[in-house]
Amino acid sequence: MDVPRQDICSVHAHRFDRKAAMPDASELAAQVLAGDVRTASRLISLLEREDEQAAAAVAVLFPATGSARAIGITGPPGAGKSTLIKRFIDAYRERGLRVGVLAVDPSSQLTGGALLGDRLRMVSHTMQEDVFIRSMAVRDQQGGIARGTAQAMRILDALGCDRLIVETVGVGQSEIAVAGTVDCTVLVSHPGAGDEIQAMKSGIMEIGDLYVINKADQPGAEHLRRQLMSAVRLLASKDPPRQVFMVSARTGDGMTELVEAVETRLEHLDTSGKLGRQRLLNLQQEVLQLIVSRSVANVLAGLGPDPVSTYLSDLEQRRMDPSTVASLVLAQQHRDRSLAQPGVAARGTVGPA
């Protein structure tokens, strides 16, 4: 790496020495770099709550990341994704690799926490020193990727994980976000999932690199394979080409070939330079998404508790349409901010004539 791991914290502490909290962030980062799993878990919990200190720690860790290769696993409920991931963990541990798993779950409506559910299928690995498994809550986050998942992946990368596996919720348009955080995307289905396959054709198929038919020993597996092959042929070509696999995560049949295909694809992307270009594009998209989300948050924070109430009668009587009301609300916000800043109002007011 360009910056030695032991020097990263001191470099960033100097860069952000005006922030009083930074020494603590640097200390947390140093503990992660030293392999402290408990600190890594604590940081991920703080990120779920959008804690600024945790974000600062991730900024310190960022130069130490980029070594781990990330695999996304997505598919409909009941496809056996968790059992499949357990097989991936087995295979990577046999190769002597450290594995980090982020299992992204729907939030509990009562607690706001992640519902563990099928995570119990991976519980045999949770006590292993070189396996880190963490459930994260979606909390209404669009895209099926939990708030802070990209940062959590960087924490596990800095912790020393060689492979990161991100399991996402369900299957549908929102799951396309997984492709923006990983290096290889595996779409999982199973016999009897005809409706899900139809849904995948509407958009999610494009993000797949490898397509896996789990429970291939069940009736209907061959029919599903033909469906997938037909759908894949309609997609734009990829390099390396997309592939379809039939496996049984329960018995392990076909897993050796699947894991080898993932590794071959990752190696090809790396040696061809495509991995670096893909990651840079993903980082660019992440920055733009953060700009949009923070801009929206700033706008909403300045609108007050009920900015539309003044125009409810106009909307009800159809004297104004929603677009006009939105323009008026934003124009009023601009005027309020201009009045609060001496010298700004004199330059003019933006809004409808």
Average pLDDT, the chain: 81
How much of the chain exceeds pLDDT 90, in percent?
44
In which band, very low, low, confident or very high, does the pLDDT at 304 lie, cut at 50, 70 and 90? confident
Confidence of residue 27 (pLDDT cuts 50, 70, 90): very high
Run of H or E residues at 244: strand 243-246
Residues 89-143: tens digit of each pLDDT: 999 999 999 999 998 765 544 444 444 444 545 555 555 679 999 887 755 555 4
* Residue 77 confidence (pLDDT): 80
| 107 or 347, greater pLDDT | 107
pLDDT band (50, 70, 90) for residue 203: low
Mean pLDDT, range 77-93, rounded to an integer: 92
Residue 116 has φ and ψ, to the nearest 5°, of: -65, -45
Query: pTM of the predicted model, to two decimals?
Result: 0.81
Q: How far is CA 159 from CA 7, 36, 39, 249, in A?
A: 15, 7, 10, 28
Q: What confidence category does residue 169 fall into, taking pLDDT thresholds of 50, 70 and 90?
A: low
User: Are 52 and 21 within 8 A, CB to CB?
Assistant: yes
Q: Of 100-109, 120-129, 153-162, 172-181, give the lowest mean pLDDT range.
A: 120-129
Q: Write out pLDDT tens, residues 322-337.
A: 999 999 999 998 888 8
Res 111: pLDDT: 46
Q: What is the reported pLDDT for 247? A: 93
Residue 17: predicted pLDDT = 42
Tokens 């592939």, located at residue: 243
Which of 156-160, 199-203, 223-227, 270-274 is predicted with the least confidence, judged by mean pLDDT? Answer: 199-203
Q: Tell which CATH classification among 3.40.50.720, 2.60.40.10, 3.40.50.2000, 3.40.50.300 matches the domain 66-272.
A: 3.40.50.300
- Which segments of 131-193 are extended strands (E)? 131-137, 163-167, 184-189
What pLDDT, in 10s, does the model give residues 240-287? Answer: 889 999 999 999 999 999 999 999 999 999 999 999 999 999 899 888
Query: Cα-Cα-Cα-Cα dihedral of 199, 204, 208, 214, to 10°?
Result: -30
Domain coordinates in residue numbering, the chain:
1-64, 66-272, 302-339
Reported confidence tier of residue 289, pLDDT bands at 50, 70, 90: confident
44-48, 270-274, 339-343 — most confident range: 270-274
Among 142-156, 170-184, 211-225, which range has the highest average pLDDT? 211-225
Of 48, 50, 60, nearest to 19 by C-alpha is: 60
